[in-house]
Structures are given as C-alpha cells and as structure tokens.
C-alpha cells in the first residue's frame, strides 16, 4: 500500500494545551506522524510518496471561502494587533446567546465564530501545514481513483473535528471529508466514511448531515461525558435528504473490545447495506487502552482485526490518519490496521 506523507506537517505545532486544569505539552505533536512513518518503513508497507500541491478549489468543495480566508490570514492580523505568541480563541457562544449569521469584524469575536474550543492554536504556518495535510488526503484519493485498491494518507494535523467553517479538536481542514468529496467529484455515486477514532467526528457529521451521497458511521466516547460533547448522540440520524445516513455509536467509558466490536460490526453491516462505491476510513487509534486522553480499552492486536474486517469491503479505500496519542504504541496500532488489511 502506498503511504502519502509530507514533512511539511512540522509546520504546525501548537506547543502546549490546557488539559484537565493543567498546561501541558500538546498531545497532538509532530512526533506522532514521525512515529507512524517510521513503523510504515519498518514493516515495509510500501512506497512513501510526497503529495503535490493542490488548488484551493478542491478544499472549497467542503469548506467555505470566508473560513479559508480567515485561516490563512488570522496570524498576520494577530501580529498586526500587536500580539505575540500564537493565535488562541478564548470564548464561545453559550446556548442562551443568539446565533450570529455572519462573521463579526473584531479579531477575537471572529476567532470565537470560527472555532469551538482551544485544543490547538494557529501558528504562523498552521495554514500551510493544514493545506499540506489536505494535499496528502487528496493525493491518496487520486491514487485510489487511478486504480490502487487502497492508500494511506498520513495526515497531520488531523481533520475530523473541523467543519465547513470552524476549527477545533486539533483539526483545521477536514481531510476525510475533502477526500470523500473528491471521490464524488470523480465519478463515485456514494461514499461511506467509517470513523473509528475514539472521538466523535463532529466536523464530518456537520459537513454531510443533510446529504445522502455520503454515509457517516462513527464509533466514539458518548458525548454525555466525552469531548467534543454536544454532538454524537445516536438520535442524530441526518436531516432532509440525509435522514438515515448519519450513524452514531456512542459508547461508555471503559468500553472494551467485545462491546466495541459489536458496534463496529453493526456499523460494518449498515455500511455494506448502503452499497457505497468508495470508502474513507477516519483512522484514529485512540481507542487504545493506554491512550492518555481516551477511555476505551482496545489492545494493539485488535487493530489488526479491524484492518482485516475493513478488507472485507470489496471497495476502493482511503485510510486517513486522525487521532492517537499513546505515542509509544501509535505506530504499531495505526500500521496494524493497514497490515491487517493487506494480510486479509
Ligand atoms: Zn480522537
């Protein structure tokens, strides 16, 4: 299997984050992609390919132009306002406050408008890194469109928390959604996104919620207790034409393999029944038992099984790297999915 990767991911590094009351080194650090890359090479998964640069048009199929302009320019605005350090939002709309229908003009107000948390900052080169992560997903998609059975887009920063016009959860551009849309724009009629990351793919859900040409199935920590909260309940099944094409599997803290696997198999069957012509896997491996910010109990061997079962879809498949923060095992767990797939 070809892996698409660029060292340009180093252009994004938030440095620190606020985690459970402490300022700590960010969990979403550049080392993550390097560890996965090292494992890809160690097991001889296949060639590692630098993605070309794509036009913004491919990203505008998913994200709004005003949001992209904001992401591109906000760091310069921050500096022009006389501020040092990185760009951080710090306040968000509460349910008692009216929803704005257009971006406000003030810098901090706009930061609030285009985000939902402060998991990650915007640095001078975050825009470039996020663009290169999207390029990585696009190049992987194009390889599959050209006849590869599957490809691995080793994207960083990750993407599934980013919506049409917002960032959050370490995510700025939704790489998996951009890939799914590219499949549709190149002859595919129906695409499924299978999100096995520990966290709910709230951005992906928001992007495709009213559409029937993309089915999203997401297994995740119940939003009643787990980030990103508010979204990811089973009752959210899509709207309008999209009714029935959004499948959420919220699971309790402490979920082990058997419970996780039961939800995975249910989602697997429903994806099969949808009869997609291409599949995108939002490949987070933070359901691992030692993940520092997650509360499921999967073991490394289970990721092999996940890969084997994904191979049972006789479909063109793009794997897109999302989360996974137990860095000692991150390479093994992510590549186990790919090796399980290849060995099936
Ligand atoms: Zn995650």
Distance 324 CA to ligand 1 centre (A): 6
Q: What is the pLDDT of residue 220?
A: 98
DSSP tally for the chain: helices H, then strands E: 10, 10
Q: Could you tell me the pTM of the whole model?
A: 0.98
Which residues participate in catalysis according to the annotation? Answer: 161
3-state secondary structure of 166: strand
Cα(108)–Cα(121) distance, rounded to whole angstroms?
13
Split at pLDDT 50, 70, 90, the class of 321 is very high
Note whether 250 and 220 are within 8 A (CB).
yes
**Exposure string for 164-198, b = 16+ CB within 10 A, e = fewer:** ebbbbbbbbbbbbbbbbbbbbeeebebbbbbbbbb
Note whether 87 and 122 are within 8 A (CB).
yes
Residue identified by tokens 């300022």 is 23
Tokens of 228: 């990103």
State mean pLDDT over 52-74: 98
- The predicted-structure confidence for 108-139, as pLDDT tens digits, reads as follows 999 999 999 999 999 999 999 999 999 999 99
**For the chain, what is the mean pLDDT?**
98
- The predicted-structure confidence for 266-275, as pLDDT tens digits, reads as follows 999 999 999 9
Entry field: residues in the chain = 344
- The predicted-structure confidence for 212-234, as pLDDT tens digits, reads as follows 999 999 999 999 999 999 999 99
Distance 243 CA to ligand 1 centre (A): 25
Distance 196 CA to ligand 1 centre (A): 9
Number of CB atoms found within 10 A of residue 219's CB = 27
Split at pLDDT 50, 70, 90, the class of 176 is very high
Q: What is the pLDDT of residue 264?
A: 98
Distance 201 CA to ligand 1 centre (A): 8
Q: C-alpha dihedral over 268, 185, 113, 225, to 10 degrees? A: 0
């Amino acid at each position: 299997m070809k892996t698409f990767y660029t060292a340009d991911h180093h252009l994004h590094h938030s440095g620190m984050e606020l985690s459970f009351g402490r300022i700590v080194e960010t969990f979403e650090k550049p080392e993550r992609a390097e560890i996965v890359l090292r494992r890809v090479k160690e097991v001889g998964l296949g060639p590692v390919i630098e993605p070309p640069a794509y036009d913004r048009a491919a990203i505008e199929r998913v994200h709004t132009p005003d949001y992209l302009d904001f992401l591109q320019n906000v760091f310069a605005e921050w500096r022009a306002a006389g501020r040092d350090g990185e760009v951080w939002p710090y306040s968000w709309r509460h349910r008692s406050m009216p929803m704005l229908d257009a971006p406000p003009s003030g810098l901090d107000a706009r930061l609030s408008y285009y985000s939902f948390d402060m998991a990650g900052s915007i640095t001078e080169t975050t825009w470039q890194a996020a663009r290169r992560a999207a390029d990585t997903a696009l190049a992987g998609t194009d390889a599959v469109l050209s006849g590869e059975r599957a490809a691995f887009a080793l994207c960083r920063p990750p993407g599934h928390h980013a919506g049409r016009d917002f960032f959050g959860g370490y995510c700025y551009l939704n790489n998996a959604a951009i890939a799914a849309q590219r499949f549709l724009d190149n002859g595919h009629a129906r695409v499924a996104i299978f999100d096995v990351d520990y966290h709910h793919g709230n951005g992906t859900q928001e992007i495709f919620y009213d559409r029937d040409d993309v089915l999203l199935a997401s297994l995740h920590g119940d939003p009643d207790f787990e980030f990103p909260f508010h979204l990811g309940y089973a009752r959210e099944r899509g709207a309008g034409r999209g009714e029935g094409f959004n499948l959420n599997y919220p699971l309790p803290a402490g979920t082990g393999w058997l419970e996780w696997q039961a939800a995975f198999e249910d989602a697997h069957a429903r994806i099969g029944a949808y009869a997609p012509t291409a599949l995108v896997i939002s490949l987070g491996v933070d359901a691992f038992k030692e993940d520092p910010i997650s509360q499921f109990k999967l073991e490394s061997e289970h990721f092999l099984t996940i890969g084997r079962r994904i191979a049972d879809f006789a479909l063109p498949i793009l794997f897109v790297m999302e989360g996974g923060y137990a860095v000692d095992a991150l390479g093994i767990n992510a590549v186990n999915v790919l090796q399980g797939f290849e060995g099936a």
